[in-house]
A and B are shown apart, each in its own frame.
Chain A
Amino acid sequence: MNAMLKPQIDNAPLQARGISKRYDGRPVLDAVDFTLPEGAVLGLIGRNGAGKSTLIRALMGLIEVDAGSATVLGEPALAMGDRVKEQLGYVPQQPDALGWLRIDEMFALLSGFYPRWDQAFVDSQLERARLPRDRALAKLSPGERQQVALIRALAVRPRLLVLDEPAAALDPVARRELLREIALRAGESGTSVLFSTHIVSDLERVASHVAFLHEGRLLLQAPLDDLKERCARLWLPGTASPPRIAGEISRRPQQAFGGWSLVVQQRDGRWPVEAQQPGARLEALGLEDLFVEIAE
């Protein structure tokens, strides 16, 4: 009781310190520090195999990590109590649980576990998505299955919503609906959202924050607007590799241009001085370009 009355300042819904995980000797996550601020919609972005799913599963306490720790709504991820689990909505990458149950049976089975279960929402969403209640889950297409899983996660009225590649199997209409739902939930119920994706345009619509995961390391984690305003592509002429620049994030040679392109960050509101060199050029960068520049 006391804990609930205390102001929760540094109690981010999701927090991780130094998470490392190896599979069969291969490192998948390498000392990842991660914070999901309260009320944020954070898009976790990375190439296939970058470790997004592993990070999410480690944050949720579904797997044991080799080093580091994570907390979910203030409790250790590996020892969450019912109070935390009741406020948690999670959709795995391929939700294929309980395939032998019918849609309505699955919801009936689950509704008993969640005190804030929103059956009206379930009914309206099933209606809208035209999902037949008496169909076995296993007989649904992957997209339909994902929709059911999303309805299930939202029906909990979660304080924290975690979605692993939620849009991958959805058609454009369902995807837009999902984004709208995520956006409005975040705005109105103060739900904090973490979702992973490699579809950048989804992320750009709804995300307030963005995190780049590349080869098991978190390269960037920032509010999306800041990232767009403070990151730019810097073109530098000359074939020799330019000296390291303050605020540089990545670099690669550009043969066609006969020089180098770098992704640079503003420091104290200023662009690096190298941008004033003769022949240098600064260019605004969309998130997709940024992603490609960093991940390549």
Chain B
Amino acid sequence: MDASLLTITPGAAEPIYRQIVEQLRRMIAGGQLPPGELLPSVREVAGFHAINPMTVSRAYSLLEGEGLLERLRGTGMAVAQRARRARSEAERMSLLEPRLHDLARAARELELPAGRVLRRLGELLEDGE
């Protein structure tokens, strides 16, 4: 994996380490990062995005604690063998939950009818396929 695959938005309300954690979680759950895939070193990520290396290692440690990553002796971090791609749909759905909350709030604020929003969401999901 390459450091450029991560997207960092420093100005967001979400801390940078969380942004990294969320993205890696999604990519592992979605299978873009198969078990055994080597992650870029802390230095690479920090250097590429000009961010604090401690932030990156914090994200990595967090995922290591969750069992999604494992530390390889001498070569760095890799996606854990146990981190299977297809976990339950419920699990994957929970990863989407925060974004759905955001979306719901925005729709409420704009006073849009639920049916219209859902229809549009459906279109977008079908377009992607």
Contact = CB atoms under 8 A, between A and B. Distances in A.
Please tell me whether chains A and B touch each other in their complex, using a CB distance cut-off of 8 A: yes
From B8, B43, B51, name the one whose CB has the most chain A CB atoms within 10 angstroms: B51
B115 interface: no
Contacts of A180: 46-47, 50
B50 to A, nearest CB: 4
Nearest to A178: B50
B18 to A, nearest CB: 8
B49 interface: yes
Contacts of B43: 184, 187-188
A267 interface: no
A288 B12 CA distance: 9
A126 interface: no
Output the residue of B10, B13, B47, B52 with the most chain A CB within 10 A: B52
B54 to A, nearest CB: 6
A207 B47 contact: no
Contacts of B14: 228, 284
A163 B103 CA distance: 41
A215 interface: no
Interface residues of A, number: 27
A204 B47 contact: no
B54 A201 contact: no
A224 interface: yes
Contacts of A41: 52
Interface in A159-213: 176, 179-180, 183-184, 186-188, 200-201, 204-208
A187 B13 contact: no
A295 interface: no
A274 B14 CA distance: 23
Contacts, number: 69
A285 B46 CA distance: 24
B17 A205 contact: no
Given A184-B43, A286-B11, A208 B50 contact: no
Interface residues of B, number: 22
B12 A286 contact: yes
A122 interface: no
B36 interface: no
A208 B56 CA distance: 11
Contact of B42 (A179, A187, A206): A187
Contacts of B80: none
Interface string A27-41: 000000000000101
Contacts of B35: none
A225 interface: yes
B79 interface: no
B15 interface: yes
B51 to A, nearest CB: 5
Contacts of A96: none
A206 B54 CA distance: 9
A287 interface: yes
Contacts of B17: 225
Interface in B19-59: 42-43, 46-47, 49-55, 58
Interface of A: 39, 41, 176, 179-180, 183-184, 186-188, 200-201, 204-208, 224-225, 228-229, 284-289
Closest 3 CB pairs of A and B: A187-B53, A284-B13, A204-B10
Given A201-B10, A205-B49, A228-B14, 10 more contacts: A41-B52, A186-B53, A188-B53, A201-B11, A204-B11, A206-B51, A208-B54, A225-B58, A285-B13, A286-B11
28 contacts: A39-B54, A180-B47, A183-B46, A183-B51, A183-B52, A184-B47, A184-B53, A186-B52, A186-B54, A187-B42, A187-B43, A187-B52, A187-B53, A201-B11, A204-B16, A205-B16, A205-B49, A205-B50, A208-B54, A208-B55, A225-B16, A225-B18, A225-B55, A228-B14, A284-B13, A285-B13, A286-B12, A288-B11
Interface of B: 8, 10-18, 42-43, 46-47, 49-55, 58
